[in-house]
Amino acid sequence: MAVAEHEHKVGRWYEDLFTRGDLDAVDDLIAPDFVAHGQGGTEATRGRVAFREWLRWYTSAFSEREWDVHDVISEGEKAVVRYSGWATYRGGLLGIPSED
C-alpha cells in the first residue's frame, strides 16, 4: 500500500469513525477479523459488529470529539500514527460521572 493510501485511510479512521461516529464507514475501514486489545493486553473488541457496538457507546460517552493526525509512518502494509485527540466526557465509562 502506498504512503498516500495509508494517509487517506488513517484520515478516514479518525474523521469518519472517531470524530463523526459514522457507522456506515465501518465495513470499509474495519477488517472482518478485526481485533482490538484493551488494557493489559485483554481482547476488548472482535469483528465489525462488536466494533459498531463499541463505536455507539464511544459516541454517546464522548461528544465534541476532535482528532489531529501529526505523522503517518508507512512501510508495506503497515502504518504507525502519531496523533492527539480530545473530547468532552458525557458519562458511561466505569461508572464515572460527567461534570455536567
Query: pLDDT value at position 99?
Result: 81
Domains of the chain (ranges plus CATH)?
3-89 (3.10.450.50)
4 pLDDT above the threshold of 70? yes
pLDDT digits (tens, 9 = 90+) for 23-48: 999 999 999 999 988 766 666 789 99
The pLDDT of residue 40 is 66
Q: Using CB atoms within 10 A of its CB, is residue 69 exposed (0-12), middle (13-18) or buried (19+)?
A: middle
What is residue 89's predicted lDDT score, i.e. its pLDDT? 94
Contact of 29 with 11, CB cutoff 8 Å:
no
Q: How far apart are CA 79 and CA 77, in angstroms?
A: 7
What is the pTM assigned to this prediction?
0.84
Q: What is the pLDDT of residue 41?
A: 64
Give the pLDDT score at 62. 95
6 conformational bin, left if phi > 0, alpha if psi -120 to 50, beta if neither: alpha
Over residues 41-100, the pLDDT tens digits come to 666 789 999 999 999 999 999 999 999 999 999 999 899 999 999 999 999 888 888 887
Rounded to whole angstroms, the maximal C-alpha distance in the chain is 46
CA distance 6 to 80: 9
Q: Which three cell numbers stand for residue 57?
A: 457507546
